[in-house]
Structure 1
Amino acid sequence: MDQSNNKALEVDDKFVEHAPDAYPGLSPEDAEFMRGYEGKTGKKVVKKAGFFPGAVFIVSSWYPCHELQQRLAIFYTASAFSGALSGLLAFGIARLDGARGIAGWRWIFLIEGAVTVAAGLVMPLLIIDTPERAKWLSDDEKRYVDLRLRLSGVRSNTEEGDKFSWKLLFKTMVDWKVLLGIILAWANSVPNAAFKFTMPQIIKQLGFSTAQSQLLTMPPYVCGGIAAWLSGRFSDHLSWRMPFIVGPMSVLLVALAVLFNYSKNVADNVPAMYVGVVLAQIGIYPLLPGISAWTGNNLAPSWKRSIGLAWLLAAGNLGSLIGTNIFLDRESPQYPTGYGVSLGIICLGASCALLMEFCLWKSNKARAQRSEAEIRQKYSQEELDAMGERSPLYKYTL
């Protein structure tokens, strides 16, 4: 992932972003023809690893710090609506089971893979990776966008502050803000992965058929997407990230508590259980846009932001390995392990968010004690740019 984002700074970002977009679209189709777990897993790792961090980096390259989260939320909301659509597609495509001698699950891979390939081929023509390459912007408009990005700290004022080095790579990977961000990402990826794979089963336990369960997964995803956009909108408006991360985590805690409490007697608590499922998605989907925006806002210059976002999302997604293995069939319908681990990691994430807020606030307060004139008298612009977010003129986003 780090390599994908690093190369995105050197070559045309949209091709780094969407070449893997079209190519991994072949994976579902390959699943129809391929046999063997190792081959399928290897192809997924090679072809899909750079997609999401590359997309986040491109979006972050266009917008000032306090206009970023709602844009990331719009992008991430596509994941929520794809989850809603997948339930509907699974309901419809299942009827093709046996057609032309192909199993229903293979039809799903073939159809969704073909759509992904087509989209991946078209997207490079539609996605503009940087303002400088936007043919529809005039020179004055490009200059205006560039100045906005420089004033907000997204871009350096000199080339000195925006160079890659292996030292920068390793320093970024152990940066305390990135490490805390990874824990925050785990608070999203663990319950998110768990619900993505178990929601249909949980809903089915409410007494609905498999087909009805697939359809009933749609409203939670739609509500989650709307919550993500609203959270991003208000976070950008208030220029404040932390409440819009801790808030959804609190909603998610309530949702999991409701689901665990009423799971002992599902049949008599169908409305409460379904509301719990909806609340869980409302809590999950605002998290990753907020965490990505908060971490990206506090990393500078663009090389460090690129590396930091890639490492955040790569290490953060390791939580999915946990999330997909904690809702154990033998523990149905209460799933004490699944709910217990999810509740614990969410509490840890909320604590880390509060700790990060305090540390950033304390740093901003210390920097505010020095005047800009005093700082500029001591440091040149090149030296300030080389410091990145450690510059005494840099103000952290809370």
Structure 2
Amino acid sequence: MSSLSSRPPPESNDEKDASSFEKSAIGSSPRIAISSSGAWLKMDCFIVPLCTMMFFLSFLDRTNVSNARLAGLQQELNITSTQYSLALTVTYIPYILVEIPSNLLYKSIGPHIMLPTMLALWGLVCTLQGLVHSYSGLLACRFFVGLFEGGLLPGISLYLVSFYPRGMLQYRYSLFFAASGLAGAFSGLLAAAIVKMEGVGGKHGWSWIFILEGAFTFLFGLSCFAFMPRTPAHAVFLTDLEKEIVLTALKEDGIMAADERDDEFSWVEVFRTFKQPHMLPLAVMGFFNGATLYGLAYFLPSIVASLGYTTNRAQLMSVPPFAASFVLSVLSGLLGDRYRHRGLSIIIFAIVSTAGFATFLGSGNNSVRYGALFLLVPGTYCIGPPLATWTANNVAPHIRRATALAILITMTNSGGILATWLLGTLSPAPKYTKASITFLIFQVGVLFAALVTLLYVNEQNKRKAKLRSAGLCQEAEPKAIMGNDSVWYHYVL
């Protein structure tokens, strides 16, 4: 292996923006430059919508239980609020347990097999959820929904990361993650329409919510086997030249190793991920924001109903805050990639969310409290994309990155367990006082954790720059400390 001293001083490949990735990978030929633009455009038209649709269906099928609850699920099955919270918790237990193992198996199984299989299986279980007649049946379905869906978000995150250089990632991740806000908005609209099928086929409207949405997920999962590429090298929609352009950019940015053997599974790299100092504040942010996000995802229709709206009206009135989060998430993704600053995005939206919860908690006017949802929902949902992107941007090589994303999402879903109890039983409507105070504190915690992470990565960049300028990195670095531990690795702020 060649010495690192032979590398040019990194002005660096990690500090390049999207356009410079293309230039470095393709040279100056106009024909090749056109092919480069076409390659990224093709992936934007194929890979991003594919990931977005998968996550949209994931979020829709996991959280539509809140719409079903509002449509009569809880009364029909004769379950208490505590039992409802337990059913949500049962979903998260297997969900959390499979996240890290599934990401470690990502390369050996292949995302083109693993992700569609998950999609089809949980779609089938979600469909069966509409046929349950007892609480025990609901618990069984929620367990298997969590088991089959658990590896999807870390898997999709890793899949998307493997197709784009770091400087092009947040916008694409925002489009993909904004599907959660879109699912929240669409779920209310769809549920309002589906519940009108009450009595069709002898089934309740809430049953049809599960049956129709789950059946579509199952069919889409089966179709993904036919057209989902394993890697950019397997993408049939790219020409050979376009594949070369993409692969060159990914290798220059450290997303792919020049030697594939360097990306092979290693327990050493898995455990080294847990020792990365910046993983602790990132995981804390994942837990805090995850609790808030899933609390809103599962209970927003109920929260809106507590403000005095009728059941069907509450379904519809839960749509606008989610729609606002979709628009703001996409815009922040564009700006995040333009200025290559993930931490600032998190800080801004944590402040917005904090203001929203403070307003919701402090006001006794239902109109004002509904307006606060336009701060706290977008503020919470828009933290997800820069947080996941920041994690993926600042951990390398592949095994560390896969582990780091799985840790982040595991912590996010662990926060979801807390949310199911906090809003389900411990904090009653209409004020949800305990939940509002807790989420307010959590969003302040996200703000401080983001500041700590920002200071750490900035100091690391300064330290590495001093080592390079002082000529203290002329000897080859051992392979064991390559990746983001390398003196040549530049952290994204």
Q: Normalising by structure 1, what TM-score?
A: 0.93
Equivalent position of 1:309 in the other structure: 405
CA contact 1:157–1:385 (8 Å) conserved in 2 = no
Decide which of 319, 344, 356 is 1:218's aligned counterpart.
319
In 2: Cα distance, 1:216 partner to 1:42 partner: 30
What residue is the counterpart of 1:94 in the other structure? Answer: 195
Q: Which amino acid aligns with 2:488?
A: L
Give matches, 1:238-277, under 5 Å.
Answer: 238-262=339-363, 264-266=364-366, 270=367, 272-277=368-373
CA distances 1:258-294 after superposition (whole Å, capped 9, x unpaired): 11111x343xxx1x22221111121022111111100
Q: Alpha-carbon deviation of 1:98?
A: 1.7
Q: How many residues align?
A: 391
Q: What amino acid is aligned across from residue 377 of structure 1 in structure 2? A: Q
Aligned to 1:162: 263
Mapped contact 2:131–2:207 kept (Cα < 8 A): no
Kept in 2, the 8 Å contact 1:18–1:121? The answer is: yes
Q: Does 2:422 align with 1:326?
A: yes
In structure 2, how many angstroms separate the alpha carbons of the residues matched to 1:256 and 1:149?
Answer: 41
Matches for 1:89-168 after TM superposition, within 5 Å: 89-159=190-260, 161-168=262-269
Amino acid at match of 2:118: P
Aligned residue among 289, 295, 314 for 1:194: 295
Equivalent residues of 2:273, 2:400 under 8 A apart = yes
| Separation of aligned partners in 2, 1:287 and 1:353 | 10
Distance 1:330 1:206 in 2: 15
- Displacement of 1:6: 2.0
Distance apart, 1:116 and its partner CA: 0.5
Shift of 1:385: 7.8
Q: Give 1:66 deviation, angstroms.
A: 1.3
Q: Does the CA-based 8 Å contact 2:324-2:378 persist in structure 1? A: yes
Alpha-carbon spacing, 1:320–1:177, altered in 2? closer, same or farther (3 Å): same
Supply the distance in 2 between the matched residues of 1:114 and 1:304 (Cα, whole angstroms): 36
2:147 aligned partner, one-letter code: V
Give ranges in structure 1 of 5+ residues lacking alignment: none
CA displacement 1:280-339 (0-9 Å, x = unmatched) = 121022111111100010110112111111121012210011112223476432222101
Partner of 2:430, secondary structure, is coil
* Deviations 1:95-133 (CA, angstroms, capped at 9, x unpaired): 111222111111111000111011111223333231111
Tell me the equivalent position of 2:456: 359
Residues of 2 paired with 1:83 and 1:219: CA distance?
9
Q: Which residue of 2 aligns with 1:340?
A: 437
Q: Quote the residue 1:395 is aligned against.
A: 490
Query: CA offset at residue 214 of structure 1?
Result: 0.6
**Conservation of the 8 A alpha-carbon contact between 1:158 and 1:385:** no
What is the distance in 2 between the residues matched to 1:360 and 1:161?
Answer: 25
Q: Which residue of 2 aligns with 1:30?
A: 128
Q: Bigger CA drift: 324-333 or 183-192?
A: 324-333
Distance 2:224 2:374 in 1: 32
- Give the 3-state SS of the residue equivalent to 1:369 in structure 2: helix
Q: Which moved more, 1:151-160 or 1:47-56?
A: 151-160
Distance in 2, Cα, partners of 1:170 & 1:317: 21
Residue of structure 2 aligned with 1:66, choices 164, 167, 176 = 167
* Distance (Å, rounded) in 2 between the aligned partners of 1:192 and 1:57: 21
Give the CA deviation at 1:372. 7.7
- Structure 2 distance, partners of 1:97, 1:179, is 48
Secondary structure class of the residue paired with 2:421: coil
Superposition deviation, residue 207 in structure 1: 2.7
Structure 1 range deviating more: 143-152 or 243-252: 143-152
What fraction of aligned residue pairs are identical, expressed as a percent? 28
* Aligned-pair CA distance for 1:346: 1.2
Kindly report the root-mean-square deviation, in angstroms, between the aligned alpha carbons of the 2 structures.
Answer: 2.0
8 Å CA contact 1:179–1:312 kept in 2: the answer is no
What runs of 5+ residues in structure 2 fail to find an aligned partner?
A: 1-98
Partners of 1:169 and 1:307 within 8 A in 2 = yes
Cα distance, 1:121–1:277 mapped onto 2, change above 3 Å? same
Letter of the 1:365 counterpart: K
Secondary structure in 1 matching 2:118: helix
Give the conservation status (yes or no) of the 8 Å contact 2:427–2:434. Answer: no
2:284 maps to which residue?
183
Q: In the aligned structure 1, how far is the partner of 2:383 from the partner of 2:149? A: 21
CA contact (8 A) 1:77 1:225 kept: yes
